[in-house]
Amino acid sequence: MRILITTLGALGLAGAIATAAAAQNVSPEQAHADHRQATISGSGMAGVTLLRMQQGLIEKKNVPQLFDYWATGARLSVEAFRPDTRGADVKTEAKDAIWANWSDFEAAMTAYAEDVEELAALAADGKTDEALGGMGPIFKNHCRGCHNDYRTD
Ligand code: HEC
């Protein structure tokens, strides 16, 4: 019975979300674009926040959790970018090259996620200074490299 109620609840929620999306006239392509932007930008900014903590601009707080958030978002970005929105009328900074070269993009995003996950594991292990000290190459190689190739300015 509980399973049935939970299932009905989930269906009701899905229905409510679909209705809300329809009410706002959001196309499935825009919904995909919104999701990938929120995922890459929210988690990427967790990384930027950690960099600012390391630089002493703001107080170091919740460092392992921020690394975890960053790593989770990086990993989720692989799937978040998969839906091809080329040719659709969407607000996006994603270049068509992403889906024209999907295997290259997927490999780049996966390598990014793996490098962040390594630092997140260090931070979870209490080695927060080591984790904070290892961020430089991620920004240089992954963020900037990928934006140069796959994001419009
Ligand atoms: C493998 C490719 C890739 C990697 C790695 C990557 N990004 Fe991005 N990022 C993108 C793409 C493509 C977009 C544009 C998405 C869209 O508009 O649909 C984007 C968008 C963003 C945005 C939001 C767009 C804006 O300018 O308002 C932010 C913020 C961002 N990335 C930060 C980062 C940071 C910080 C890192 C590294 C810590 C990072 N990204 C790593 C590809 C990447």
- pLDDT tens sequence for the chain (153 residues): 444 444 444 545 555 555 555 557 899 999 999 999 999 999 999 999 999 999 999 999 999 999 999 999 999 999 999 999 999 999 999 999 999 999 999 999 999 999 999 999 999 999 999 999 999 999 999 999 999 999 998
Q: Whose CA is nearest to atom 34 of ligand 1?
A: 44
Q: What is the pTM of this model?
A: 0.87
SS3 content of the chain, % helix, strand, coil (to 5): 75, 0, 25
Q: Whose CA is nearest to atom 25 of ligand 1?
A: 41
Tally of structural domains, the chain = 1
Instruction: Give domain status of residue 145, yes or no.
Output: yes
Q: Whose CA is nearest to atom 6 of ligand 1?
A: 143
Instruction: Give domain status of residue 133, yes or no.
Output: yes
Q: Is 120 exposed, middle or buried (0-12, 13-18, 19+ CB in 10 A)?
A: buried
- CA geometry: angle at 23 spanning 17 and 28, to 5°? 65
Expressed in angstroms and rounded, the spacing between residue 6 Cα and the centre of ligand 1 is: 36
Task: Say yes or no: CB of residue 75 within 6 Å of ligand 1.
Answer: no
Q: Which CATH number goes with the domain that contains 60?
A: 1.20.120.10
